[in-house]
Structure 1
């Protein structure tokens, strides 16, 4: 009887010590669940119906993302411009987004460097200032209306920075309009210029008689600048790194497919555009737009500090957003290494 009592007492004391230890460490079953990094049951993906988002459209059309995601459900959401997509990401209704570099920076800045991370590049180039035939110098824009897709989006910042550099701030009317509406307004003579991403700059040139006044790549070293990148909610990246890695495998596969199968990739983009907008691009339009972009998983991270400073020059921000710590290319570089491809550089953005 004494032996049984001694054993029971020892076990009880052991259980009590274990419970106290767990309490002292602050752990619990709920904490363990929070640390679970299993694949996500659903991935909510945002993107635009633009040629500058071609890898998104190609991967969706060819099923390359679903193939890598396996049992994770892929839910897609279309956007017209970056600021709306930023709201969805910060509001928690979107997990990963194809987005312009300007709104990507804004998402990071608005959340004090907490809510999102830059995880890949998508496209370099593919933005132009197109004008009516009578615009032959920057000064010819005085008194005219110039359109960008949305206040604070990538092209909006680029235009306003350029105008500031020409001393034309407040001398040119800058307005924001959905891309399809801009095409109609240009045809009708309501606007005389627009800074647009592809395929919309090509559509204004080929369908509305606009001319290319400036290709944005002329303003950047070696003509390279990040037009479209991919960002992810930080919480989603921490909780589901396998899912993020699987998505990035699909992205790399999409870019590889596009670079190896140009004609079929263009067809895939056109099929998706027709499904999203009800209209496909003419062959000459998509060919022209394609020639103006470079598909790359390199986010060209070294230019993000300049892009942040451009927001001040453009009058969008009073202080340049701090982009230190913005990039987390761990999963992308793991994918690239497994594929035998060179890793990409974070440009110092991986450190705060």
Structure 2
């Protein structure tokens, strides 16, 4: 990435504008985290609910103490182990940080991304001492972008984004792991969103396995039941059921777009992904976006394995399919064209 582009993007952020940039997980839609008006512009551009917090991205040299208070030793240990990288920590928000980034909560989500373009931007922005609030660079609830073109497809026509920095395809492909450390004394660490960094990897650093989310857990990015969804309805099925469903939908003259990793019969549109959790995650969002463009009645996804390595992928697919409950039954029990 040309350093002049990085500097121009940093100046745009400092002027209160929105800049999309690559991280190792997905592309983010960034704004100055200390400028409530700029953060409000993110919410407006995405159509994001005001109570849904965003994650603040920091340069490696930034001080956690500026952004958070009552920081436990576990946070420093996890930062040492996984930053820069795809881990977000929820901590108590410092009094000087506006609540615009936290959806009105007393906590803040912080992470240091590892993508070289993101790091260059964070170091150029406010001399490396600022924070960039950046949810995924897409309309709220839609599939996260893993290419710069995905961002342009979402926002280019409306002019809300000043710049899009192109850093190639996102390496990880799904959003960061989120662990809540703001209630250690009462709840211990809590895994709010699974991702590339597993609960077991976190436990290896802090000697405590993160618990599942509880009703009082802080709200966090990407944790609504329906999320990461293309416009075409999504259904996820085990292979044996999926083969029968494909036959039935074809017999009913329904158009199926298929995302799979094992051998399956041809259909209207299909994309085969790697049969590893890392490879599948890397390709998933691009595949959902590609299959969304084929005019299918449904996107069928071959359900991945259920072991822990696939937890992040299964979480994203479950949320993508949440709003499409009953879609296969409905397609099989309606006349074509209805």
Which TM-score applies when normalising by structure 2? 0.23
Greater RCO (CA < 8 Å, at least 6 residues apart): 1
Which TM-score applies when normalising by structure 1? 0.22
